[in-house]
Amino acid sequence: MPLLPDKIVDFHAHLFPDELFEAIWRFFQREYGLPIVHQLYARECIDYLRERGVETIVYSNYAHRQGVAGALNDWNLRLLDQTGGIYCFAAFHPGDDDAVGMIRRVFEHPRVLGCKLHFLVQRFYPHDERLFPLYEEVLEQDKRLLLHVGTGPIGNEYVGISHLLKVLERFPGLKLNIAHMGAFEFQDFFELLEQYPGIHLDTSYCFLPDNFRMFRMEKSVLESLKGRLLYGSDFPNLFHHRREELDALLGMRLSQDFYNRVFRENARDLLRSHTG
């Protein structure tokens, strides 16, 4: 039976100020009728994960509307300065005044890897021309983007690989992390990896138990992608217990090399490439 590495990297967690966490929990309960299992605040999340073998936490937050990214990023910078072993994808909204100037200043922090765009929630398209200056800045500063751009777990008109392809045609050198392995357009996103070496996929929400599992392809597919996958939990905003997804992945009995790479080595290599 393969094992997880003793120390792992979670490349897709969420940390928010307390009041925003509470608003998110209320939203999920109201919209989906499902309570968030791990209703923990930022410091509690960090402690919880570290107590369970997560050596390095890469988290994000996102600006659900105009006017909040600046305050979120001030909070992010304080948290990074107060806490070792964590990295951040910062918040951005193209409708903010001097949005690119703000993110340029945030990018000066060595543990800000880039920024998060959540097209499902933020409700603009990846190819919105207001984002082009951000993409140029990301390329200039050698940063990354974490994108929720697939159609799963739920979708709307703003997500889907067709929108992302328009961006890649114009900015082929972008370094991207694709949340949820691009679900539900798995094969289309897998094919992108052949052409775009700067793209990685994270596993968040893909291996839920039973009928909720999004990824249902052959194990051999995962083995073939193991150099480009990153473990991500989406913690703490989960309808299931974090351990269930870990058990589901381990239960697939992939190679030990798969677990070593996806849960630790790929992430360490990527972090070294951005932070030295």
Q: What is the dihedral of CA 208, 210, 216, 219, to 10 degrees?
A: 80
The size of the chain, in residues, is: 276
pLDDT at 276: 65
> What span, in angstroms and rounded, lies between the C-alpha atoms of 116 and 156?
18
What CA–CA distance (Å, rounded) separates 214 from 205? Answer: 7
Q: Which fold has domain 8-275?
A: TIM Barrel (3.20.20)
- Interatomic CA distance for residues 148 and 120, integer angstroms: 7
Residues 21 and 43: their CA atoms lie apart, in Å, by: 12
Each residue of 198-231: pLDDT tens digit? 999 999 999 987 788 999 999 999 999 999 999 9
Where along the chain do its domains lie? 8-275
The residues with which 121 forms a beta bridge, in sequence order, are none
How far apart are alpha carbons 43 and 269 in whole angstroms? 26
| Burial (Cβ within 10 Å: 0-12, 13-18, ≥19) of residue 11 | buried
Alpha-carbon distance of 160 to 270, in angstroms, equals 25
pLDDT tens, residue by residue, 84-137: 999 999 999 999 999 999 999 999 999 999 999 999 999 999 999 999 999 999
